[in-house]
Amino acid sequence: MSGLSALHRKLLRELLRLWAQVLAIALIMAAGVATLLIGIGTYQSLERTREAYYQSHHLANVFATVTRAPGSMLAKIGAMDGVLAVDGRIVKVALADIEGLEQPASVRLISLPQQQAGTLNRLYLRSGRLPEAANHMEAVVSEIFAKAHGFREGSQFGVVVNGAWRQVTITGIALAPDHVYAIAPGEITPNSGRFGILWAPERTLAAAYDLGGAFNAVSVQLAPGTSEDAVITELDRLLDPFGAQGAHGRSQLTSHAYLDAELQQLRSMSEVLPPVFLLVAAFLVNMTLTRLIALEREQIGLLKAIGYSGRAIAWHYVEFVLLIAIIGLVIGTSFGVWAGNALTELYTRFYSFPVLVFSREPSLYAIAGGITLSAAVVGAIRAVRAAAALPPAVAMSPPAPPTYRRHSTRRLHLPLRQTGVMVMRHLLHRPWRSGGGIVGIALSVAVLVGSLWSVGGVEFMIDYSFNRTERQDAIVNFTSSKPLAATAEIARLPGVLSAEPFRAVGVEIGHAQVTRQIALMGRPATSPLTRILDADLKVVPIPPQGVLLTRSLASILGVSPGDSVDIRLLDGERQRHQLHVAAVVESYLGLGAYMDMAALQALIGEGNRISGVNVTIDSLHQSELFAALKRSPSLGHISLQAAALTQFRATMAQNMYVMIAVLVGLASLIAFGVVYNFARISLSEQGREMASLRVLGFTRGEVSALLLTEIAILTLLAQPLGWFLGVLVARGMVEGFSSELFSMPLIIGPDVLATASLAVMAAALLSGLVVRRRVDRLDLIAVLKTRE
């Protein structure tokens, strides 16, 4: 240390002397840095990996499905203004029978052109080779599906291809940019064990589905600057004679939309939480530095007397807080990178990217460092100014003793013992600092409330979606619409207790200039298995005329009950209709619209035809039912509610509960840091008084009770404010997390508030007990000799 200046040696001594307080502040800064890095870093990782993957493997910009279109249409589509490339495929959904899996699985069959060069949505072959058209059926399988069943090159399983049982041989494992998030039709979370993607040669699928020289799905890549809406309009016009079901942009591609929703949640987390941590850190810096300068008045006076300028002294204290911030940056960056890598690895289980690495963008770390250092300096400004402005003569004199008359507790008319009076007088003597302590603790409560609410929200969603509204055991979807009599056929299958038909029709629904493509659901007038509820959880009957819209869809369209919406059918003759909105109902998953099934059938003019059947199952005979369903040639996908619920819980647990555990730890860190710093400063101010009380005969417990009572009062007073701020944080998180695919209800019950308060109180108690040990070890003689 011989090469250091006097001020730098003093700085190092202060860091060592105040190491505990320095570490507490640094850890809170580290929490802010880590939250920022986790949120923005993971966001950047997903976004940039997605964009690079899309570009390198030529993900299309516009997608459309048709019943059957001749291959010659591809040249006409390619000649459209702004179209760079076009790709026609055969896409079908089929049942699969996998050894060791009792439940029926489903696969999406996608054709592979004979010439891979120049195609869109290109495969990334992880291992193996591409399939060849042969007498037996070869296919490449999606990686997540392969991992779920241990598939490798040469593995085989059965698939019902257009009513015929075919044995599929796997030749390779692959990924595709249009199936980064592979989800079965009608389900809300991916089920890697029950749904997968198979890419088979075009000749094989064309022969199986009688689509030689034709396609039923088309992808279009646009030149930069091309109007997507104009291309969609023209594409619909060209494909209209061939049973077009409505073209759409990349934003409505299921895989892309789910990933977008995840990115939105990460962005919201990084916008809401880091400012809370850095605000608390700035407050603690100010509180600690103000007290440090008060204790070093004499030293500041001596430094000025021997020639140090006010600017040099001010910079000395700025260096002090910058070192604290740097410590916080190092800890926060280390933890943030570790947690970000862990979270990124978690995302690879759900999102199929060739490679996904946590962001190493230098600007991210520069931003985190700049914000943290700025927060530290902002917190220090007031105290540093005070130090620089102290005249030497004033600084070398001890401060005037505090005057407590103005804050007499007698005016409060509280029946307090003398020790209670001492506690209240000390708190009221510095109301701003006491108020700051309350706000700091309240913010830790707010972070906990703002994270724990999601547990209740998810549980409410589960109860709402799986118990109150969708109460069937399984949803049996047909490959194409069937006569109503198919309901009776399903009802006669072994193990089926009840069956309820439904009709789903693809439509474009709009109002004014806003449109969305959705499935308009037709349900029987009385549907005991599937109910529609309003915000008060009351059953909404399906009216004989009109349409029911979910709250999210009504909000997007800007309509309310009594308004009219435009409906354009996406199949058949693409008729247009106007329907009045009968009511707005509640839903938390996707955008929905409901009609009476008979009214919908009359609207589209197709007679009594249905898309599928909701069923309840006798668990004693479900094995027989599953065996029968696997061999049914007319079924497309079977959704099992129990399996969907299990997967939903697993998905939410791995994403949400991990994040909640991190936030609970960080919030507890705030509470500990705030209380510890407040208690240490209070101890430094009252050390002389406490030593005097010990000399007068007070026990260690009685003296410590003064400090612990202050902590208890501040902690209790912080709870209501913390609850209020927590509701605001939770509301911001709800708004940030909500998307067209997913929204969460704001459910904050007494259990959430109680859990948050108990966690903060435990952290406060722990910090209080740590400081109490210092009270017990007070050197009475040394303390009583001090000038203060």
Q: What is the DSSP string of 127-175?
A: EE------SSEEEEEEHHHHHHHT--TT-EEEEEETTEEEEEEEEEEEE
Residue 480 φ/ψ region, left for φ over 0, alpha for ψ in the -120 to 50 degree band, beta for the rest: beta
Distance CA 566, CA 157 (A): 45
Surface-to-core class of residue 506, CB atoms within 10 Å of its CB (0-12 exposed, 13-18 middle, 19+ buried):
middle
Q: At what angle do helices 310-347 and 19-36 cross, to 10 degrees?
A: 50
Q: At what angle do helices 658-695 and 431-463 cross, to 10 degrees?
A: 150
Q: 413, 530, 414, 415: which is closest to 472 by C-alpha? A: 530
Q: What is the DSSP string of 58-113?
A: T--SEEEEEEEEETTHHHHHHTSTTEEEEEEE-EEEEEEE-TT--S-EEEEEEEE-
Q: Which tokens sit at 43?
A: 């966001």
- Strand 514-523 relative to strand 496-511: parallel, antiparallel, unpaired? antiparallel
* Element of type H or E holding 599: helix 597-604
What's CA 642's distance to the chain center, in Å? 24
Q: Which tokens sit at 186?
A: 């009608």
Q: Which tokens sit at 658?
A: 């991990």
Rounded to a whole number of angstroms, the distance between the first and last alpha carbons of the chain is 31
Distance CA 78, CA 122 (A): 18
Whether the Cβ atoms of residue 146 and residue 208 lie closer than 8 Å to each other: no
Domain boundaries, the chain: 62-254, 430-471+645-788, 496-617
Distance CA 631, CA 164 (A): 9
Q: What is the DSSP string of 320-374?
A: HHHHHHHHHHHHHHHHHHHHHHHHHHHHTTTS--S-------HHHHHHHHHHHHH
Residues in the chain: 788
Q: Which amino acid is at 464?
A: Y
Percent helix, percent strand, percent coil in the chain, to nearest 5: 55, 20, 25
Give pLDDT < 50 ranges for the chain.
407-409, 788
Distance CA 521, CA 340 (A): 41
Residue 541 has a CB neighbour count (10 Å cut-off) of 14
3-state secondary structure at position 215: strand
Q: H helices of 174-219, where? A: 202-208
Distance CA 706, CA 550 (A): 57
**pLDDT for residue 402:** 58
Q: What's phi and psi for 166, nearest 5 deg?
A: -125, 140
Residues 6+ apart with CB under 8 A from 635: 95, 104, 160, 476, 477, 478, 479, 629
Q: What's phi and psi for 199, nearest 5 deg?
A: -105, 115
Distance CA 773, CA 583 (A): 64
